[in-house]
Amino acid sequence: MSADDRRRGRLKVFLGAAAGVGKSYAMLGEARDLKAAGVDVVIGYLEPHGRRATEDRAAGLEVAPRRIARVQGRPFAEMDTDWLLERTPQLCLVDELAHTNHPGGRHEKRWQDVEDLLDAGIDVFTTVNIQHLESLNDKIHEITGVRVRETFPDRLLHEADEVVLVDLPPDALRERIAQGRVYAPEKIRAALTHFFRIDNLIALRSLALREVAEQEERQLLGPELATHEPAPALGERVMVCIDGRPNSSELVRRAARMARRATGRLYVLHVEPSDEQEAAGVHEAVEAAEGLGRQLGATVLRRAGDVAETVVKAAEELAITQIVLGESHRPRWKELVGQSIIARILRETDGVDVHIIADKRTK
């Protein structure tokens, strides 16, 4: 059988609102049942965090050897994807999907290794927390005050064959932490005082519940609407315009959530400045926002010309139904009341919803 004819592996994601809800424990329980039924199961990577119950749950399952990466002489254990591809189990268990690999492996991120396993026809069970979903990065920062650095693309969750919510009420999770069942004793007080506050956990749990509900809705709609290319008559078309300001990536995430909830397509448009010096100054931020857009399944466009005219023309050509813009803070735009870029777009588009997103960094 050629690589093109090989069945792609099935992906099952065990999603939690936060660490300690029992994702790995639930994943191992299902894997043990499948092994008892004759399925060839291998633990590709498990991070028990010293939790005895998790270690006991893994007993009896084959464990893949670790790849040892050395950074400044220090050893770090990583998943050995090459070994797993050679071993080709029916099912591979992979903890912490959003993990960033140390140098020396096949990829920068563990989710990319998971895609290699799936492409090789290996089924994968994996665990992840809601705060690692890329499009929620700004929302998580707003809720918790913590900027999550390890993320994975939304499409991986959307394309999963099954997403299981491993749920634990906030009070119960805090009790587990207080009992020392999640973190070492010296970390308990800080955990309960900061990230694991009751208000944070309620908000994170709400996001996780909504995520799983939306996943089920996509599956009910059928495969033709679960792809990145929904039927034009049924899906919205959302275009986010970026100009290289610091909030450009935040705008892309907001627009991605809007498109996704409307079962729509996402477009990212950057109108290149005519001033070469200005263009050079925003290049890095634009590249980052465009890369994020591609990761979130967007069609990325770059055009030149008058900004408002170019945005309006692109909206007409692409049959855009929603435009997302960042609030303008350029003094010369504020002086030209009624003639600003935003005002012109509002005036010259017909039947298009225009969303103006405030840049909280300037408040």
Terminal Cα-to-Cα distance of the chain (whole angstroms): 59
Closest CA to 140 of 214, 238, 206: 206
CATH code where residue 287 lies = 3.40.50.620
Closest CA to 237 of 316, 350, 302, 157: 316
Q: 312 lies in a domain?
A: yes
The pairs formed by 107-114 with CB atoms below 8 angstroms and a separation of 24 or more are 107/81, 109/152, 110/45, 110/79, 111/152, 111/153, 111/156, 113/79, 113/81, 114/11, 114/156
Question: What pLDDT is attached to residue 213?
Answer: 82
Based on the structure, what is the number of domains in the chain? 2
Task: Answer yes or no: are the C-beta atoms of 244 and 281 closer than 8 Å.
Answer: yes
If pLDDT is split at 50, 70 and 90, which confidence band does 37 have? Answer: very high
On the CB side of 187, CA atoms within 13 Å amount to 10
Q: Are strands 11-16 and 265-272 parallel, antiparallel or unpaired?
A: unpaired
Q: Which residue has the tokens 């220090």?
A: 74
Q: 73 lies in a domain?
A: yes
Whether residues 212 and 275 share a domain: the answer is no
Give how far Cα 172 sits from Cα of 14, 193, 200, 239, Å. Answer: 19, 16, 14, 42
Sign of CA dihedral 63, 69, 73, 74: negative
Q: Where are the beta strands (DSSP E) in 184-244?
A: 237-242
Question: What pLDDT is attached to residue 235?
Answer: 66
Closest CA to 180 of 341, 318, 49: 49
Whether residues 268 and 312 share a domain: the answer is yes
Query: Is the confidence at residue 291, as pLDDT, over 50?
Result: yes
Facing residues of 267 across strands?
A: 239, 299
Query: Is the confidence at residue 226, as pLDDT, over 70?
Result: no
Whether residues 211 and 68 share a domain: the answer is yes
If pLDDT is split at 50, 70 and 90, which confidence band does 73 have? Answer: confident
Question: What pLDDT is attached to residue 244?
Answer: 84
Question: What pLDDT is attached to residue 275?
Answer: 66
Rounded distance, CA 54 to CA 42, Å? 16
Whether residues 192 and 280 share a domain: the answer is no
Single residue among 206, 223, 240 that ends a domain in this structure = 223
Whether residues 204 and 258 share a domain: the answer is no
Q: 277 lies in a domain?
A: yes
Whether residues 71 and 139 share a domain: the answer is yes
Give the residue, 213 or 15, on which the prediction is more confident.
Answer: 15
pLDDT, average across residues 80-95: 97
Q: For 163-203, what is each residue's pLDDT tens digit?
A: 999 999 999 999 999 999 898 899 999 999 999 999 999 99
Question: What pLDDT is attached to residue 174?
Answer: 95
Task: Answer yes or no: are the C-beta atoms of 352 and 322 closer than 8 Å.
Answer: yes
Q: Are strands 353-357 and 322-326 parallel, antiparallel or unpaired?
A: parallel
Whether residues 128 and 202 share a domain: the answer is yes
Question: What pLDDT is attached to residue 119?
Answer: 97
Query: Is the confidence at residue 5, as pLDDT, over 70?
Result: no
Q: 6 lies in a domain?
A: no
Question: What pLDDT is attached to residue 282?
Answer: 80
Whether residues 15 and 102 share a domain: the answer is yes
Q: Taking the mean position of all CA atoms in its chain, how far away is CA 124?
A: 18
Vertex 30 angle, CA 224 and 99, to 5°:
70
Per the confidence metrics, is the pTM higher than 0.75? Answer: no
Rounded distance, CA 287 to CA 222, Å? 34
SS3 128: strand
Facing residues of 123 across strands?
A: 91
